[in-house]
Amino acid sequence: ALLAMGVGPGTRVGLIAENRSEWVITYLAVTCAGAVIVPFDILLKSDELASIMRASEARIVFTSAEYLEKVTRAGAAAGTVKTIALFDAAAAATAPAGSWTTTTFAAVLEKGRVERAAGRDSYAAAAVAPDSLAALIFTSGTTGVPKGVMLSHRNLVENGDGVQQTTKLGPGDNWIIVLPFHHTYPTA
């Protein structure tokens, strides 16, 4: 569905929501399609979010009902957002109109099923180069001015591999993640 929506190598896809399974699915789907995920800090004010949307050139933003108002205000100010995809289907009916198309996560999933059923499953064939940009993470560091940190697919895989090698986890283990997913470490 992402590829059918025009998402491909270099496309910037924003993501802002509370920790939830749809957040993880979106992150993985975007990076596996060869596009660039831009996870936004949930604590950003709408003007800060607009600035980062503009700087990152985010074309699609996945969000939840909790952050919809902030995303629409920021999206209008940024001028780059073409699609807002909502994790909460009920919120789509009340989503403010703008220069973007509003869809739901469920509709994106269904579009993927239709594409696959029609024999247009190009997602499995999407080539991802190890050193191509996978994630653009904005962090204020010590200056307070957010800067985009570019992470390649290799960076993410090495981070995940390092966690796997240093953390003994088995089928009966549970892992509590206390940080929001937009932090780099929880997404590895």
User: How confident is the chain (188 residues) per 10-residue block, as mean pLDDT?
Assistant: 88 96 94 94 92 95 95 94 93 84 93 86 78 91 78 90 82 81 64
Q: How many CA atoms lie within 13 A of 162 on its CB side?
A: 10
The predicted pLDDT at position 167 comes to 81
User: In b/e form, how buried is each residue of 117-146, taking b as 16+ CB within 10 angstroms?
Assistant: eeeeeebeeeeeeeeebbbbbbeeeeeeeb
Task: Tell me if 133 sits within 8 A of 35, measured CB to CB.
Answer: no
The predicted pLDDT at position 186 comes to 58
Candidates 7, 6, 67, 60; CA nearest to 32 is 7
Provide the whole-model pTM.
0.89
The predicted pLDDT at position 187 comes to 46
**Cβ neighbours around 1 below 10 Å, total:** 20
Q: Which residue has the tokens 């003994």?
A: 168
φ, ψ for residue 137, nearest 5 deg:
-110, 120
Q: Where are the beta strands (DSSP E) in 25-170?
A: 36-39, 58-63, 83-86, 101-104, 133-139, 147-152
Distance between CA 95 and CA 33 in Å, rounded?
Answer: 27
The predicted pLDDT at position 188 comes to 44
